[in-house]
Amino acid sequence: MTAVSDALRDGRAARILTMVCWLAVLPAAAWAVLRLAGLERGPLVQAVAFTPYVAAGSLVPLVLAVVLRRWAPAVLAAVTILALVGVVAPRAVAAGQPAVGGPTLRLLTANLLLGGADPAALVALVRAQRVDVLAVQEFTPGIAAELDRLGLATLLPYRALDPEPGASGSGLYARFPLGAVGVRRNQGFAFLQSYGTLAVPGAPALRVESAHPASPYAVRVVPDWWTDLRAQPPATPHGPLSVLAGDFNATLDHTPLRDLIATGYVDAADAAGAGLAGTWGPYDGDRIPPVTIDHVLADRRIAVRAVEVHPLPGSDHRAVLAELRLPAG
C-alpha cells in the first residue's frame, strides 16, 4: 500500500508540475498570437505597447519547462520566444540605408506636456545639437512666447505655429524656408498637426508634419486612437518626399502604426538600431516602464544616419533627434 500511495503522490505531483509549466507558457504564447495577428482591441491596445518586456520575460517559462523536463510546454515556449524576439530584436540592429548624396537634416521632435516643458532646456538642446527642424506637440501660447524670448526665433526663423491652450497645440520650426504651411485637426481628441514644405538647399522639397494622434488612455477612446492613426498622411514613395515626426501614442507593436509605415515610411529609430529606446514614461509617478511612442517616420528614400533620445525637463516625453540624409535634388 505504501508503494501505491507513493506512486499516486508522485503522479499527482507530476501533473501539478506539468500544469504549472503550461500556466507559465500560455500567457506569453497568447501574447505572441495577439501581436503577430494584430488583434489588439480595447484594453489590449495599451498592453501591446509592452511587448518588448514580454519578449524579454518569455525566457522564464522556457527555463522552467526545461528544468522540469516538460517537453511539450518547452517546445511552445521556444516557439513563443522566437516569435516575440523576432519582432522586437531587429529594432536594436541598424538596417541598410539607401545610397543618397544630398544634404544632412537634423530633425528633433518633442512633446511639451501641456506647455510645461522647460523652454530654456529645449532651446539649449536645439542649439547644442544643431537642429534644423523642430516639431512640437502640446504646444501652448505661453511656451511659444518663451521660446522666442530665449532665442529660438534666431536659431529657427521659419515656422508654422498653431499654439493652443492644453494638449492640442502643434508647431514646426525650421532653419530653412517653409512653404505651403498649414494645419489640420484630428477627429479623435482634436489635436492639431502643423505642416509645411521645407526647402533644403541641394535637396528636393520635403513635406514635414508634426504628428499627434489621440492617446488610447482608456477603452472608450480607443476608437479615436484608431481613427486618428488611420488618418495620418501616408507616404508618397513615387511622389514628393515626406516626414512625419511627433508623439504617435503608438509603438511599433501596434497595427495601425505598422500599416502607416508600410505605405512607404521607415521608422528612423528602428532603421538606426535605436528602436528600443523608451520615449515616454514613467508618467505621473506611476511605475510604468518606458515605451517608445515618439517617432520620426521618414520616406524610405531618405537615409537615416543616427537617432538619439534626449531627456526634456518638465515633460514626461523624451525628445527624439534624427539625423537624416536627403536625396540630392
Q: Is residue 134 located within the same domain as residue 242?
A: yes
Which of 44, 63, 92 terminates a domain? The answer is 92
The answer to whether residue 5 scores a pLDDT higher than 60 is no
> Does the pTM exceed 0.85?
yes
Both 129 and 231 in one domain: the answer is yes
Residue 25: give the domain boundaries. Answer: 2-92
Each residue's pLDDT tens digit, 250-278: 999 999 999 999 999 999 999 999 999 99
Torsion 28-34-35-41 (CA) sign: negative
Residue 57 lies in a domain: yes
Q: Do 61 and 111 have their domain in common? A: no
Could you tell me the pLDDT band of residue 7, with boundaries at 50, 70 and 90? Answer: very low
Inter-residue contact 306 to 272 (CB < 8 Å): yes
> For residue 97, is it within any domain?
no
Give the pLDDT confidence of 14-60 residue by residue, as tens digits: 888 889 889 999 999 999 999 999 999 999 999 999 999 999 999 99
Residues 108, 16 share a domain: no
Query: Do 136 and 249 reside in the same domain of the chain?
Result: yes
In contact, 163 and 139? CB cutoff 8 Å? yes
214-255 pLDDT, tens digit per residue, is: 999 999 999 999 999 999 999 999 999 999 999 999 999 999
Mean pLDDT of 125-143: 98
Query: What's the pLDDT at 15?
Result: 87
- Judge residue 290's burial from the number of C-beta atoms within 10 Å of its C-beta, 0-12 exposed, 13-18 middle, 19 or more buried: middle
What residues have CB less than 8 Å from 216, skipping those under 6 apart?
45, 46, 222, 225, 249
User: Reduced to 3 states, what is the DSSP secondary structure of residue 42?
Assistant: coil
What value does the CA radius of gyration of the chain take, rounded to a whole number of Å?
23
The verdict on 121 and 70 lying in the same domain is no
Question: Tens digit of pLDDT for each residue in 292-318?
Answer: 999 999 999 999 999 999 999 999 999
The verdict on 314 and 275 lying in the same domain is yes
Which of 36, 70, 92 marks a domain boundary?
Answer: 92
Distance CA 88, CA 270 (A): 10
- Out of 92, 124, 148, a domain closes at 92
| pLDDT band at residue 13 using 50, 70 and 90 as cut-offs | confident
Residues 59 and 116 occupy one common structural domain: no
Same domain, yes or no: 10 and 150: no
pLDDT surpasses 50 at 136? yes
Residue 99, domain member (yes or no): no
Rounded to a whole number of angstroms, the distance between the first and last alpha carbons of the chain is 89
Using left for φ > 0, alpha for ψ between -120 and 50, and beta otherwise, residue 306 falls in beta
Does 108 lie in the same domain as 84? no
Residue 302 and residue 157 share a domain: yes
User: Does 175 map to a domain?
Assistant: yes
- pLDDT tens-place string over residues 71-95: 999 999 999 999 999 999 999 999 9
Split into its structural domains, the chain has a count of 2
Sequence-ordered list of residues with C-beta below 8 angstroms from that of 117, at least 6 positions apart, any chain: 110, 111, 143, 312, 313, 314, 315
Q: Is residue 98 part of a domain?
A: no
Are residues 238 and 215 part of one domain? yes
At residue 9, the pLDDT reads: 53
41 exposure class (CB count in 10 Å sphere: 0-12, 13-18, 19+): middle
Mean pLDDT of the chain: 94
